[in-house]
Amino acid sequence: MNSKKLTAFAAIIFFFLSSFSIILINVKRDKPKTANKKPNILLIMADDMGYSDIGCYGSEIKTPNLDRLAQKGIRFKEFYNGARCCPTRASLITGLYPHQTGIGHMSNDPEDSTAFNYGTPAYQGYLNKKCVTIAEVLKSSGYETLMSGKWHLGYHGKEKWPLQRGFDKYYGILAGATNYFNPSGARGLTLMDEVAEPTGQNYYTTDAFTDYAIQFIKENRQQNTKPFFMYLSYTSPHWPLNAFKTDIDKYRGKYKMGWNKLRTERFAQMKKMGIIDQNVKLSLQDGADWDKLSDEQKDEMDYRMAIYAAQIDRMDQNIGRVLSELEKSGQLDNTLIMFLSDNGACAEGGNLGMGLKENLGTKKGYALSYGQSWANASNTPFRKFKHWVNEGGISTPLIVSWPKSIAKSLNGKFANQYGFLPDIMATLIDVAGAKYPTTYQGNNIMALEGKSLVPAILGKEQTIHQEPIFWEHEGNSAVRLGNFKLVKEFKNVNTDRWELYDLAKDRSEVNNLATLIPKKVKELSQAYGKWAKMVGVLPYDEVLKFRKNKQKKE
């Protein structure tokens, strides 16, 4: 080959090698934008919603989007929250027991910076620095951390707010509740770290929380290559009863059969769906006698329940909007979605609810509730309500969807293990490949209490909890180990008595076994005592004395 041909051949080789190098450089440069292996995470929480209040858990309320998640994912029959708004949120977001975080009772009120602070670390009323939030942990693992909705973990001082506890963006209410149409004053809106105002004539918190969630998710996709963690914390269906007429009209008149019949119908549907086992009995009715109400009262109670149902319906519509955005952007398959409620249905307001009936169906009112009688139906088939730690107070639906990782053969199935709130943090750390710290910003961090739910989500039969798990709220106490649950209701320190139930046979806590199996009562009560001492539980009679003395001084 002559020199001219060699030169030409070398030029051709150089051209192809240069072009190939450019392609490799471009592939390497573009890879982070298109190949994100870590899943996005969407954690959705409802507020004061009962165990049987959505379609895929036996309800007549229309929730097609949650039902869709359940049919393309997996459901837990036995998952537990913390019986009340603040303790649940504290435990959910830290992976610890609420007392360990500083919220052993509730977080401080907007109106009172010292409320629920009883002078001990376990009862200071806001998150301490010995815990880390999911946002703080996932942020250190390369996630953009987003939140929209209810915070309720500390109000007085911005150092207690979401942006200072690991979130990159936030919109919502810092307090525990507000009027859905007109959030204002101390219970108004916050955008990032600043006061915000409701916009538009048809402002509605459930819609607005969703608007910002979608906006934040879009901005994440457009502005950076990080996976996102979105905590979407609705206030629905927490009182006040506020809903749009178009949503209320779907349910008006459908509840004139009364709460007894509604419980019976839901109970039958739950058994048919496999949500509860055939051996479960319906707990005793715990409300007013429907047949003794006047026609006017029946009409009012139908209206209250219709509004409550409309609030859940609207929440589901909005969850559908988020799912549509993820689907449209091609992110749905690799997004882990979890949905749960913060406590059982709320019985506050007495048997027939609270608030003026004249405010029903309007944009007025703050303290409007549907009452204990309907709450009893919402918690079908269980005993008790929000505040208590019987199954009706702490049982929540848990729906998990993750199309990329959950086998299609598991779609619509149920997990056979039980879990509780701290497991959420452990699970998200697991799927994100994150590391839970021993120290953070110069503070020693308490050891994580939860266990990853990933084996259960992927259909494995291994037991999640081989150790006891515990609850305490307002003196109401419980411990579960295996199928046995020990529980007591606080009445006063001299009359409290432990009750023992075998949940494999008696999930609705009808047959008390305490006198039949005293050794199990002793074993579990001793375990509870050690735990209560470890986390700093105050005897509730001491809490009541503290509050009484505080009120006298004021």
The stretch 408-430 carries a mean pLDDT of 97
pLDDT at residue 15 greater than cutoff 80:
no
- Secondary structure (DSSP) of 310-343: HHHHHHHHHHHHHHHHHHHTT-STTEEEEEEESS
Q: CA-based diameter of the chain, in Å?
A: 111
Measured from the Cβ of residue 1, the count of other Cβ atoms closer than 10 Å reads 7
pLDDT at residue 12 greater than cutoff 50:
no
Rg (CA), the chain: 25
Give 492's pLDDT tier (boundaries 50, 70, 90).
confident
pLDDT at residue 111 greater than cutoff 70:
yes
Q: Compare 28 and 44 and report the one with higher pLDDT.
A: 44
CA distance 156 to 171: 17
pLDDT at residue 389 greater than cutoff 90:
yes
| Helix H or strand E segment including 244 | none
Q: What is the pLDDT of residue 348?
A: 98
The stretch 488-503 carries a mean pLDDT of 90
Give 36's pLDDT tier (boundaries 50, 70, 90).
low
pLDDT at residue 438 greater than cutoff 50:
yes
- 56-89: per-residue pLDDT in tens? 999 999 999 999 999 999 999 999 999 999 999 9
Q: What is the pLDDT of residue 550?
A: 80
SS3 479: strand
pLDDT at residue 33 greater than cutoff 80:
no
- Positions marked active-site: 85, 152
Share of the chain above pLDDT 90, in %: 89
Q: What is the pLDDT of residue 8?
A: 44
Q: What is the pLDDT of residue 81?
A: 98
The CATH classification of domain 38-465, taken from the options 3.30.750.24, 3.40.720.10, 3.40.50.720, 1.10.540.10: 3.40.720.10
SS3 547: helix
Q: What is the pLDDT of residue 10?
A: 43
Q: What is the pLDDT of residue 11?
A: 44
Q: What is the pLDDT of residue 31?
A: 32
Q: What is the pLDDT of residue 414?
A: 96
- 472-483: per-residue pLDDT in tens? 999 999 999 999
Share of the chain above pLDDT 70, in %: 93
How far from 181 is each of 150, 155, 173, 233, 507, CA to CA, in Å? 15, 22, 13, 17, 39
| Helix H or strand E segment including 97 | none
CA distance 162 to 170: 7
The stretch 521-536 carries a mean pLDDT of 98
Q: What is the pLDDT of residue 531?
A: 98
What are the residues facing 46 on neighbouring strands? Answer: 341
pLDDT at residue 20 greater than cutoff 90:
no
The stretch 172-196 carries a mean pLDDT of 96
- 268-287: per-residue pLDDT in tens? 999 999 999 999 999 999 99
| Cis omega (within 30 of 0) for bond into 237 | yes
The stretch 400-406 carries a mean pLDDT of 97
- Secondary structure (DSSP) of 160-210: GSGGGGT-SEEEEESSS---SS---GGG-EEETTEEE---STT--HHHHHH
Calculate the average pLDDT of the chain: 93
Q: What is the pLDDT of residue 2?
A: 47
Query: What is the domain partition of the chain in residue ranges?
Result: 38-465
pTM attached to this predicted model: 0.93
Q: What is the pLDDT of residue 28?
A: 33
Give 495's pLDDT tier (boundaries 50, 70, 90).
confident
CB 379 within 8 A of CB 344: yes
